[in-house]
Every structure is written in C-alpha cells, then in structure tokens.
C-alpha cells in the first residue's frame, strides 16, 4: 500500500472548494459594480451581509488551506523518507495533526471571543484526557515509534509474549503477523493487533533492527555407540557450509554496530555441545543464521544432516 497516493475524490473535493471560493469572489465583484439594478443588488447583497455566510466562506477557506498543507506535507514526507513503513506512519500522524488544526481554526471562526475559545478547548481537552487516556497514550506511542524507529514495517519483534512480523503501524495500534518460532519463523496465519501505548510498559525485542542475523540451534540424539568426534566434525562442516556467508556478514555488522554502541566482540562460527543422559547422547548445534531466511537455511541443514550422518536416530528442529 502506498500511503502517499491521493485518491481521485480528494482532487474533486479540492476543485469544488476552489470553484466555490472563486465563484463567491466573482459574485462579490459583480455586486460591487454599479451596472446592476438596485433591486437585484439588494437581493444578492442580503446573504453576504449575514455573519453566518461569512463564517461559511471562511470555513471553506480553512478547508482548502488544510488540503493544500496536506498536499505539501505528503510530498515532503515522500521525498524525505525513502522507507515505505516510516512514510506510511508519518502520513497518518500528519493527517491527524492537520485534522486537529482544521478543527481549531474552524472553532476560531465560529466562536468570536478568545476567552470562550480557550474555555471550550480546555473543557474538551480535559474530557478527552480523562475519557480517552489510553487512546492518547497510543497516539503518543505512534509518534515515539516514528521518531525513534524502535521498529518499522517488516521488522520481526517480540512484545508482550507475541512474536511476529510488523504488518502495519497505525495511529493507535500495531498489526503483527504471528510467527511460529519453533518451526523456523513460519507464518502462523494469525494476525494480532497491539496498542502502541504498550511501548511504555513492556519490553520490545527487535530481531531485525540493527543486525540481520539471529541465533538458532539443531538438536540431534545419538546412541552411545556413535562416534561422537566424527559426528561433531560432520555437523560443523555441514553447518559451516550453509552459513559461511552469514558468518562473514555478521562479523561486518558487529563491527559497524560496535562503532556506535558498546558491543563486546564474539565469535560467529558454529559450535557443538554434547550432553549425556542414561539412554542416549544429545548433541546441540548452535549457529547464526539470516533472520529472514531462518526456516529455509534450517531445512537445508537438517536435510543434509539426515542424508550424510549415519546412525542418527532423531533430528529435533
């Protein structure tokens, strides 16, 4: 979805308002001229002497001002924000701001006394704060997301026990496609919405913001008769084969991130841990993989392990 694309009805409304204002200006010029008869002039002048018609005219002028500001603002957002997700959220917040500005200017047109305007705004704002506290917190949360870029559309995040891909960041809520972490981040088909105000109460873990890789593991059970050293070397060779590019990329990203934040260096090579119990040997292969291709890479590794290593009784993904 392209949030910066304006629908045809927007341009139709803009042209109608411009036409109404231009028509009113032309009519005013005709009234001001002396070519019209006095009776016709009185009939036409009488509506414009009414304060209500003047207020309607000023309200139309405010509407066209808001539409022009919207056009300019959306154009600037599109030029300054190449990221589609951030642009989508920015346009929504900017639209909400313009709606509030338009309501305030319209209130100033219809209410003449500044004290009354302040009183009305204070009463309305107080009622909104009390009745819509969570709603306002959600709006502030969306603004925080836009400024801090804690997560963007397409990122994979953990928040309040939910793990998924960010599908949409609205003014009030964030929409996630839930992922099954146990099956290699396979989409579950379940769509979850989370209020943006939860950012101030819960911890958010973004697995794809600064680093494009994540840790993963494969568990293999073997009988005691298996050659553990030989199996370990085979496992490391297979995993190394499928994650070589990821390891190199991970080292480069770690170096870049350590220049901006404190990040102790750590190895990205795969490792194998061996655990013994009463009936079998458990080998756990830990490695780093590309976050967005986690399921694909894991399936390739497991498939080759099942073909190459003899005596494997069970491969736990």
Q: Tell me what pLDDT residue 176 has.
A: 92
Contact 81, 13 (CB under 8 A): no
Q: Tell me what pLDDT residue 120 has.
A: 67
Fold entry, domain 148-206: SH3 type barrels. (2.30.30)
**Cα distances (angstroms) measured from residue 292 to each of 107, 208, 257:** 50, 8, 19
CA 224 – CA 102 distance, rounded (Å): 76
Residues 6+ apart with CB under 8 A from 73: 94, 98
**Could you read off the pLDDT tens digit of each residue along the chain, which spans 317 residues?**
444 455 566 667 667 766 776 676 666 666 555 555 554 444 444 444 445 667 777 777 787 788 788 888 888 877 777 666 667 767 777 777 787 777 777 777 776 666 666 666 676 666 666 656 677 777 788 888 877 888 888 888 888 888 888 988 887 888 999 988 776 677 888 899 888 888 888 888 888 777 878 888 888 888 888 888 888 888 999 999 998 888 888 888 888 887 777 777 778 889 999 988 878 888 999 998 888 788 888 888 888 888 877 655 444 54
Please indicate, yes or no, whether the overall pTM of this predicted structure exceeds 0.75: no
Instruction: Centre a 10 Å sphere on the Cβ of residue 116 and count the other Cβ atoms it contains.
Output: 11
Fold entry, domain 213-316: Alpha-Beta Plaits (3.30.70)
Q: Tell me what pLDDT residue 27 has.
A: 66
For β-strands 271-276 and 173-180, DSSP reports them as unpaired
Q: Tell me what pLDDT residue 303 has.
A: 87
Q: Tell me what pLDDT residue 133 has.
A: 67
Residues of the chain with CATH 3.30.70.100: 213-316
**Cα distances (angstroms) measured from residue 105 to each of 69, 121, 161, 292:** 14, 12, 44, 48
Residues of the chain with CATH 2.30.30.60: 148-206
Q: Tell me what pLDDT residue 214 has.
A: 83
Instruction: Centre a 10 Å sphere on the Cβ of residue 103 and count the other Cβ atoms it contains.
Output: 14
């Amino acid at each position: 979805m392209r949030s910066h694309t304006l629908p045809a009805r927007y341009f139709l409304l803009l042209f109608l308002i411009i036409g109404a204002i231009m028509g009113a200006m032309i009519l005013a010029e005709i009234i001001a001229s002396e070519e019209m008869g006095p009776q016709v002039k009185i009939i036409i002048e009488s509506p414009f002497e009414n304060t209500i018609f003047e207020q309607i005219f000023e309200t139309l002028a405010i509407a066209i001002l808001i539409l022009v500001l919207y056009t300019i603002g959306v154009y600037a957002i599109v030029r300054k924000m190449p990221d589609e997700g951030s642009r989508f959220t920015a346009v929504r917040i900017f639209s909400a701001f313009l709606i509030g500005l338009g309501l305030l200017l319209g209130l100033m047109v219809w209410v003449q006394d500044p004290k009354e305007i302040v009183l009305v705004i204070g009463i309305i704002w107080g009622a909104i704060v009390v009745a819509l506290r969570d709603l306002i917190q959600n709006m502030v949360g969306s603004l925080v997301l836009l400024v801090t870029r804690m997560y963007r559309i397409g990122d994979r995040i953990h928040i309040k026990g939910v793990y998924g891909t960010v599908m949409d960041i609205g003014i009030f809520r964030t929409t996630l496609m839930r992922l099954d972490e146990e099956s290699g981040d396979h989409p579950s088909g379940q769509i979850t919405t989370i209020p943006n105000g939860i950012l101030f109460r819960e911890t958010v873990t973004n697995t794809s913001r600064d680093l494009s890789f994540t840790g993963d593991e494969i568990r293999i059970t073997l009988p005691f008769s298996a050659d553990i050293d030989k199996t370990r070397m085979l496992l490391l060779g297979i995993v190394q084969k499928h994650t070589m590019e990821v390891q190199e990329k991970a080292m480069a990203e770690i170096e870049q991130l350590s220049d901006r934040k404190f990040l102790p260096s750590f190895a990205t090579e795969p490792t194998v841990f061996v655990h013994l119990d009463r009936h079998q040997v458990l080998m756990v292969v830990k490695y780093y993989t590309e976050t967005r291709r986690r399921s694909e890479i894991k399936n390739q590794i497991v498939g080759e392990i099942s073909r190459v290593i003899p005596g494997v009784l069970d491969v736990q993904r």
